[in-house]
Structure 1
Amino acid sequence: LIDYAGLAKDSINDLSDGLSLADVINGEDTRRTKPIGFRHTGRAAWLDNNYKLVTLKVESREYQLFDLAADPQEKQDILTERPDVANRMIAEFEAWNASVERSRTGADYPSGKVDPFPRPQQTNWLALPEYQKFFDEWKDRPDFKPYIDRELKSQGKK
């Protein structure tokens, strides 16, 4: 977006992990110039174009490596067959993961906090009168019924 906004590349802080999508959007080179990582619920993946490094438990340091061009269904772990790729990607992933941890704890932000501003108190939408007026209409819908029943029970109305 910085490219399209006409801003200088250094107009944002140094903590940006993103890459410009201008080439992809413009139909030019679609190969990534640097790998991209993902983390969720203790699992992680590190993608470098055709190669994908996966761990089902980050703390275990146990990995699988897949060649997505040759094996798009990720059935053949090639970690031991390609130690050159595996070792490079593991080192890159672990450095990136450490960076994510520093960001998560606020260690690499000048303020030492991820979000220096207090967050507003979270509100339960079911307790808001603006929504409660629709309860009769929604009470039998499978997507709302369990929530509405629980809220009405907590209010002593059911």
Structure 2
Amino acid sequence: MGPMIRQTIQQKKLSFWKILIMIFATAFIMDITVKLFSRISPTIASVAGIISLLIAVGGCVLIIYRHIAYYNYKLIDDDLIMERVFGRANHLFLNLKLWELEAFYPYSEISSRGKKESVKIYKFVTGINHHQWYVGEFTRSGDQYRFIIEPSEELLRAIQSVRGEQ
């Protein structure tokens, strides 16, 4: 049996003050919207207030979801599995055999590899620390894919050893 390696990539915690600012900004935008549209008609002001509330709630949920969710990378034998975890739910996003990888290189080399047309990109990283990111490329059913991960040293060595790289 080959290696079994698991790694978790988590986002920085969302601070209390950022959440508080989001709530106050939502209330402020709704108030401004209602005041502006109340000059036209009270009915239009009510509808505009509801629409701005829905947009603000959607934006807040999206921001919070991105900060609470995290990624799991698993290497079991020669299967590389990447999933997004939100709460107790694990959502499998990508499962591939390492022999399917056509290229695996540091993110800093992505510009030198050339831009490919119609490449689907999966990002399994958080933050902006590009120095530790790696890019994998593979083809399935004639479609080209790229994924971006931030492997630990152990996971990186295991991927490179299974692929026969140094």
| TM-score by shorter chain over 0.5 | no
Bigger relative CO (Cα 8 Å, ≥ 6 apart): 2
Higher strand share: 2
Query: TM-score scaled to structure 1, two decimals?
Result: 0.25
State the structure with more CA Rg. 1
Query: TM-score scaled to structure 2, two decimals?
Result: 0.24
